[in-house]
Structure 1
Amino acid sequence: MTELVLGLDTFGDVPRDDAGQPITQAAAIRQVVDEAVLADELGVDVIALGEHHRPEYSISTPETVLAGIAARTSRIRLASGVTVLSSDDPVRVFQRFATVDAISNGRAQVILGRGSFTESFPLFGYDMADYDTLFEEKVELFAALLEEKPVTWTGTTRAPLADADVFPKTESGRLDTWVGVGGSPQSVVRTARYGLPLMLAIIGGQAERFAPYVDLYRRAAEQLGTVAHPVGMHSPGFVADTDEQAKELWFPHYKVQMDRIGALRGWPPLSRANFEAEVEDGSLYVGSPETVARKIAKSVRGLGVGRFDLIYTAGAQPVSARMRAVELYGSKVIPMVRDLLND
């Protein structure tokens, strides 16, 4: 069996310094690079950077930041989490990540998705009425580009291609590409149809409730004659020296973040009781290294996944707390998870 992949995920949330003052977005990007360098040194398998176009997040072009991380690291895989393909051009996305792949000696990974917000659609001139068509057509084109051969393609969302060769090529001949899915069966089947690995975004409720999606992916791949890769999952969480410290450092900032999302989607404000319930028996991996490791191991076993990424930032957390979280995840949580799963 392939060894479990354990990664970290961030949207480049703009944190506060240890005096409680917000730092600039430029400093926030540099902070993410420093955290990735530490993760690389501690043996974390993957760092994944999400794409957003909002003031509370600093990363709008994950591949640019990943290129900077590539120059300062030697082994950690460099992923987006996710690249909003619907409002981008598949050819340019391929070229940018193939370039990161070259700089990093083959460590680049793109995770394609629709994104959790929609600001990129009007920003880049796309109509939300075309939401489904945009992603369907662009995934189709991206899958063709992965063959690294001349592509002929016609659709409604961009100009057609006629025997178009795209550069640079990767040295391996295949750019590592996943699809991020939030819970749509149609998206799971589409991912299986293209033979791409599946990354599940599990941000609420028990992780085990996603087991039918893992099963659907495997059954769809079998019926379609494609490869069912080990499934990944990513979920929010935070590691501190004690359970109580982790909760107190995480909750205020996580509440601001979730209430902002909830206002857009008609959700009620996050209560402390609901937060505690998610930590206890849901999809928040918040606590001491021992607590977080046990919960990750339980979810990995329950779902049978081959990868777990912890979304370790939420809002304006202090910089020092974020660095400590990365340190504890790499030095303590990862070894503990591996030991628990080997018992």
Structure 2
Amino acid sequence: MDLSVVEPPLGTPADPTFGLDTFGDVALGPDGEPLPPAEAIRQVVAEAELADAVGLDFFGVGEHHRPDFAVSAPDVVLAAIAGRTRRIRLGTSVTVLSSDDPIRVFERFATLDAVSRGRAEITVGRGSFTESFPLFGLSLDDYERLFSEKLDLLAALLQEGPVSWQGSVRPPLEGVEVFPRTAAGLPTWVGVGGTPESVVRAAAYGLPLVIAVIGGSPEGFVPLVELYHRALDHYEQPTLPISMHSPGHVAATDELAREQMYPHHAAAFTRIGRERGWGPYTPEQFEQGAGPTGALFVGSPETVAQKIAWAMRTLGLSRFQLKYAVGTLPHEERLESIRLYGTRVVPRVRELLADPSSGAE
């Protein structure tokens, strides 16, 4: 398969959408101690309510199985959110498909689609954490095989007809039908962190792409976007949406946004780095990420809007997803960030993308 040809033009698709992502990060309480996980989950529901009220298009909840993130069952949290919102689309960021059962994933999110009146989505991925593998009795030696086979099965289930399937990770299926059916299909994205094979796999199944940009620069992901377009062409798939997930924080001024975000972001990345053999997170790393072409979308509404418009143009994005819950950042500061993002950042990004003279189209 030759995917080295065809140079697709990049540019912002018409009518982009804007969302938020959270992992249910456990914030600190007034006493400086981590909040109970139950309170962190209730905060996620309140944050989603505000996201709906300020007109955002998507709210994504990630799956983790560790103490710093409270949400291990995103579909349950999203069902609670569905009952308290009206229009915002609800999905995952991400569902760790490798350690889940594709049939149960489909059933749970088809159910969420019903209770939300057609607002459910899934983003599947291998996950950047691996705690779910030993938790559910799986071996990391099967990391790649588990995801590739389970994605193959899920792609078949998404057709919502009889499924016959055979692989090595579960017994074969012959003419199986899975319920409930959805009214208009279940949008499913593939989340990737930079692996070319995952990008090509998403294209092969005709599934849209979410690129997680948490380090470096969005510019560095241009080759993966180009690869995705070439792969879509190779597999004779239609043009599909591409989204980007990146961390950030919005406040009244650049200085305040940096002051609020830095200690929580640094603590989270230092903790994760200690687990993975990295050094402590530094102010220099933060400033590089917060710069004009970095991966952190932090600043005043105008600063963040300019950077999002640039990233959407650079990668030809249909959606941008701000990972707004940064470590132990307090709930009140998250709410203000959501309010500013929905009422000031997103309208300004739309203006920039619609104005050819802004350089964002």
Q: TM range, normalised to the smaller chain?
A: over 0.9
The Cα shift of 1:20 comes to 4.1
Distance in 2 of aligned mates of 1:327 and 1:194 = 36
Distance 1:267 1:296 in 2: 28
Give the Cα–Cα distance (whole angstroms) in 2 for the partners of residues 113 and 183 of structure 1: 12
Tell me the distance in 1 between the aligned counterparts of 2:28 and 2:303.
26
Residue of structure 2 aligned with 1:234, choices 233, 245, 263 = 245
1:270 is aligned, of 281, 304, 315, to 281
Any residues of structure 2 matched to 1:211-250 within 5 Å, and which? 211-250=222-261
Q: 1:287 aligns with which of 299, 310, 319?
A: 299
1:186 is matched by which residue type in structure 2? Answer: E
1:254 equivalent in structure 2: 265
Indicate if the aligned counterparts of 1:20 and 1:318 stay in contact, CA closer than 8 A. no
Aligned to 2:138: 126
User: How far apart, CA to CA, are the structure 2 residues paired with 1:249 and 1:18?
Assistant: 16
* Secondary structure class of the residue paired with 2:19: strand
1:160 aligned to 2:136?
no
Paired residues for 1:144-155 under 5 Å? 144-155=156-167
Partner residue, 1:97: 109
Partner of 2:336: 324
Residue aligned with 1:108, SS: coil
Deviation at 1:19, TM superposition (A): 5.7
Q: Give the CA deviation at 1:303.
A: 1.1
Greater shift after overlay, 112-121 or 9-18?
9-18
Query: In the alignment, is residue 52 of structure 1 matched against residue 52 of structure 2?
Result: no
Q: Deviations over 1:301-343 (max 9, x none)?
A: 1111111000001211111111111111111111111111111
SS of 2:175's equivalent in the other structure is strand
Within the candidate set 27, 30, 52, 2:42 is matched to 30
Distance 1:192 1:319 in 2: 38
SS in 2 for 1:75: coil
Residue 148 of structure 2 corresponds to which residue in structure 1? 136
Contact kept in structure 2, 1:191 and 1:198, CA below 8 Å: yes
Work out whether 1:177 is the aligned partner of 2:210: no
Code of the residue aligned with 2:82 in structure 1: it is A
Q: Amino acid of the residue matched to residue 117 of structure 1?
A: F
Tell me the secondary structure at the aligned position of residue 121 of structure 2: strand
1:244 CA drift (Å): 1.1
Over the aligned positions, Cα root-mean-square deviation in angstroms equals 1.1
Whole-Å separation in 2 of the counterparts to 1:47 and 1:331? 16
In structure 1, C-alpha distance between the alignment counterparts of 2:203 and 2:269, rounded to whole Å: 31
Aligned-pair CA distance for 1:21: 4.4
TM-score (norm 1): 0.98
Aligned position for 2:5 = none
Unaligned runs of 5+ in 1: none
Q: Which moved more, 1:323-332 or 1:265-274?
A: 265-274
Give identity over the alignment, percent: 55
Which one is further off, 252-261 or 200-209? 252-261
Cα distance in 2, alignment partners of residues 267 and 236 from structure 1: 19
Query: Comparing 13-22 with 281-290, which one deviates more in the overlay?
Result: 13-22
Q: Deviations over 1:246-290 (max 9, x none)?
A: 111111111111112222333222110111111013100011111
Q: For residue 343 of structure 2, what is the amino acid of its counterpart?
A: S
Structure 1 segments of 4+ aligned residues over 3 angstroms from their partners? 17-21
- Decide which moves more: 115-124 or 313-322: 313-322
Cα-to-partner distance string for 1:121-154 (whole Å, 9 max, x where unaligned): 0001101000000000000000000000011111
**Which residue of the partner structure matches residue 340 of structure 1?**
352
Tell me the distance in 2 between the aligned counterparts of 1:206 and 1:87: 30
Greater mean alpha carbon deviation, residues 132-141 or residues 256-265: 256-265
2:197 and 2:120 map into 1 onto residues whose CA distance is: 27
What's 1:192 paired with?
203
User: Which amino acid in the other structure matches residue 89 of structure 1?
Assistant: D
